[in-house]
Amino acid sequence: MEELKAVLLEATQEAGRIIQEYFQGTFKIESKEGINNLVTEVDKFSENRIIEVIKKSFPSHAIISEEVGELKKDSPYLWIIDPIDGTVNFAHGIPICCVSIAVKHNDDLLLGAVYNPMMNELFLAEKGKGATLNGKPISVSVKSNFEKACLVTGFPYRWPSSPENSTDHPIRVFERFVLQGLPVRRLGSAAIDLCWVACGRFDGFWEYNLSPWDIAAGYLIVQEAGGTITNFEGEPYSVYDKETLATNGLIHAEMLGLIRKRK
């Protein structure tokens, strides 16, 4: 485990160095599916460096990453990588973006790291050993009064097929939270959203249509910080789920109720 952790930290910090080097600089930007679903050449630089570091120590391990997809290997170990989570923020010079890397063994997430080099914040979790921010233990908030909760969400680039007036459409769900008078933020990085739930800055987070690389590291960090994470049915969460609800646990039922409300 210690060697895995050392390589994870090396890869995370190397990618962070690249992100910081190019931040607010000049680089090429392209669009993927959807006009604002961006990828920059820095995403690719970061991803290439992460994969180099991993392969140097663990050449047989499997890798899945946002830009290159799945590098298939017959291995019980899987590295789940987002070289820049919050690419739109990065491309616009907004310092809320990060590198996110998790290590999975068979069905178990073992390690997760999320690093925002512009804010110098490194979140790290190891299964069964808690979560830290810059080496100091973190935990979710203890707020149980839902009316005073501070929440965060995000919106997908690809919207669900349900009609806009459907009660489970993301805009209608968002509207229900706002009409409760709750402060709801939108940072633009799901990995950071999850980490900020884990350290108590937010009390809850929900989002649709995320991918494993958006979620995996932050998922473990929330769990190890004492939080609760499920799908929108309240069922145990998988990094392959498309519905994500993460909270301090104390307001989870209320958030589920608003998300699943039927008029």
pLDDT category of residue 165 using cuts at 50, 70 and 90? low
Choose between 140 and 209: higher pLDDT: 140
Task: State which CATH number among 2.60.40.10, 3.40.1280.10, 3.40.190.80, 3.40.50.720 fits the domain covering 146-259.
Answer: 3.40.190.80
- At residue 36, the pLDDT reads 54
User: How far is C-alpha 80 from the geometric centre of its chain's CA atoms?
Assistant: 11
- At residue 27, the pLDDT reads 66
| pTM (global) more than 0.85 | yes
Nearby residues of 2 by Cβ (< 8 Å), 6 or more positions away: none
pLDDT at 246 over 90: yes
pLDDT category of residue 214 using cuts at 50, 70 and 90? very high
Average pLDDT, the chain: 89
- At residue 167, the pLDDT reads 67
- What fold, for 2-137? Fructose-1,6-Bisphosphatase; Chain A, domain 1 (3.30.540)
- At residue 60, the pLDDT reads 92
| Phi/psi at 216 (5° precision) | -55, -55
Q: pLDDT, tens digit, for every residue of 115-137?
A: 999 999 999 999 999 999 999 99
pLDDT at 31 over 80: no
> How far is Cα 146 from Cα 259, in angstroms, rounded to an integer?
14
Nearby residues of 172 by Cβ (< 8 Å), 6 or more positions away: 164, 165, 166
- Where are the domains positioned within the chain? 2-137, 146-259
pLDDT category of residue 204 using cuts at 50, 70 and 90? very high
pLDDT at 104 over 90: yes
CB 99 within 8 A of CB 85: yes
Nearby residues of 48 by Cβ (< 8 Å), 6 or more positions away: none
Nearby residues of 5 by Cβ (< 8 Å), 6 or more positions away: 111, 126
pLDDT at 4 over 50: yes
With pLDDT > 90 as the criterion, what percentage of the chain qualifies?
Answer: 68
Same fold, 2-137 and 146-259: no
With pLDDT > 70 as the criterion, what percentage of the chain qualifies?
Answer: 87
Residue 194 has a CB neighbour count (10 Å cut-off) of 34
- At residue 162, the pLDDT reads 57
Q: Are strands 151-153 and 136-137 parallel, antiparallel or unpaired?
A: unpaired
pLDDT at 263 over 90: no
pLDDT at 37 over 60: no
Choose between 156 and 123: higher pLDDT: 123
The whole-number average pLDDT for the span 140-162 is 85
Choose between 100 and 70: higher pLDDT: 100
